[in-house]
Amino acid sequence: MNHSLLRSVLFLSLGSLAGAQTLTANFDSFTEGVAGTTLTDGSITVFNLDNAFPGGSNPTFTIEQADATLSGQAGFTANNVLGFSGLVPGAQAGFTRCKSFDVQWTGGNAASAQLEVYDFGGYAGNTITLQAIAGGVVVSSSSFTITAPFVVGHHTLAVSGVSFDTLRLIGGGPQDSGVFFAVVDSIRVDVLTATPGVPECFGDDVLTSCPCSNESVVGDNVGCLNSLGVGGRLRSAGTASLSNDNVVLDGSQVPNGPALYFQGSDHVLGGAGVAFGDGLRCAGGTLVRLGIKTSVGGASQFPGPADATLHAVGLVSTPGVRYYQLWYRDAAAFCTASTFNLTNGLRMDWVP
């Protein structure tokens, strides 16, 4: 039996994720000057700028030519950067006052993001943090502490491994409401695209053995063999979007008869599964019985024409991952004394 090594990293190379689209804003197509309270570069929008001036203000973003100051700095794309109200005309960068601003984009939730911050010190001990936010809740963050004053410092802030809809760059700390003096360049966002589910948890003995050596062929990506001599197969089609859900689960290569489609909040043993009946149970955590269908010609689908959408039946109300499987009757004397088997598992990433 082989085992897989699962490793988490702070930043995933943008564009390397399956089912993802990379968006970038580097502000180099703009003319230096005041840009306004909202600025859109390509598909990325910055807004909600707060400079934390006493008594309030109406701060505006600025486009700052910065190649004379930042040329040669890691992460800098000449010639422009994003500034915050203050402006030094020409190639010299003005490091302007900021407490926070927000970033959003088109295309749905993101899986990772990165931006380049160039700070000029000023308030040693204050912090600058990149927050990933989903539904108003911070789900991940990356930060650094300001150290030497009046020296340009470059910092790459990155978040990954979660699904989020907004980024916020925010200052904190004991001095002057936590503000910082900086400019920002190269905001990159890796947007999840709505795709059908990804098959996993196969009955091929790579991760977990089938109950009676009834393994399917490696590469077929199906469940453990059933009495038909094939492994049950689960696939999907459609858009896994909560606002535009047309996903259909398709179970095939199973004996004719009743079959239960079900959903889990997690997958068993990280997607390896555990022996159950004549097959492997892959979907775990909090289980939801989606519906029973009758397989005809070895196949069935869920939802059917009279059923509600998949996310509605599965009570999926917020973006996130769910796991699916088909549990089907196989009464023939074949493997164990049990009269059932299961297809492979299916992972689905729901986006807004």
Planar angle of CA 65, 71, 76, nearest 5 degrees: 75
**Nearest-10 Cα torsion for 9, 139, 62, 155:** -30
Phi, psi for 51 (deg, rounded to 5): -100, -5
CA distances from 350 to 5, 167, 295, 316, 322 (A): 25, 19, 27, 8, 8
State the pLDDT at residue 5: 24
Q: Which of 92, 95, 96, 82 is nearest to 39 (CA)?
A: 82
- Residue 115 CB partners (closer than 8 Å, separation 6+): 103, 130, 156, 157, 167, 169, 184, 185, 186, 187, 188
* Domains of the chain, start order: 20-192 (2.60.120), 198-350 (no CATH)
| pLDDT at 218 exceeding the cut of 80 | yes
Give the helix/strand (H/E) hosting 312: helix 310-313
181, 220 contact by CB (below 8 A): no
pTM to 2 decimals? 0.58
Residues 45/47/51/55 CA torsion (nearest 10 deg): 170
Could you report the per-residue pLDDT of 143-189, keeping only the tens digit for each?
999 987 788 889 999 998 777 889 999 999 999 999 999 999 999 99
> Is the pLDDT confidence value at 17 over 60?
no
Q: How confident is the model at residue 8 (pLDDT cuts 50, 70, 90)?
A: very low
Structure tokens at 117: 């911050």
How far is Cα 35 from Cα 13, in angstroms, rounded to an integer?
30
Contact status, residue 99 vs residue 177, Cβ threshold 8 Å: yes
3-state secondary structure 69-105: HHCCCCCCCCCEEEEECCCCCCCCCCCEEECEEEEEE
d(CA 99, CA 86): 14
What does DSSP assign to residue 176? G
pLDDT, tens digit (0-9, with 9 covering 90-100), for 105-139: 987 778 789 999 999 988 999 999 999 998 888 98
Question: What are the structure tokens assigned to 46, written together?
Answer: 């910055």
Summarize the confidence of residues 49-58 as an average pLDDT: 83
pLDDT at 27 over 60: yes
Nearest in space to 186 (alpha carbons), one of 238, 254, 128, 114: 114
